[in-house]
Amino acid sequence: MSVFPSSAVEPEILTVSDSAVGISGSSAKYTHDRFPSNIRTEEQEEKRKQILATVSNAFEYSGR
């Protein structure tokens, strides 16, 4: 399973917070100043949750 979308799909900006750091907002390590321009459909939201779960598991597996 790839967490990267095909090049034909418009990229979606996701922010993954690092709860171990305990910092949120603009001073957090991973932040973006852009948000999706439209409301997500239920299917898009489910896909987003799957991506976040995959990334979260990858961080845990790498010992982070």
The residue ranges of every structural domain in the chain are: 1-64
Residue 23 phi/psi, 5-degree rounding, is -115, 140
pLDDT tens across 13-24, in order?
Answer: 666 665 555 555
So what's the pLDDT on residue 43?
A: 92
pLDDT tens across 6-63, in order?
Answer: 666 666 666 666 555 555 554 545 555 666 566 788 998 899 899 888 888 877 766 6
Instruction: Please check whether residue 25 is in contact with residue 19, taking contact to mean a CB–CB distance below 8 angstroms.
Output: no
d(Cα 28, Cα 18) in Å, to the nearest integer? 8
So what's the pLDDT on residue 57?
A: 82
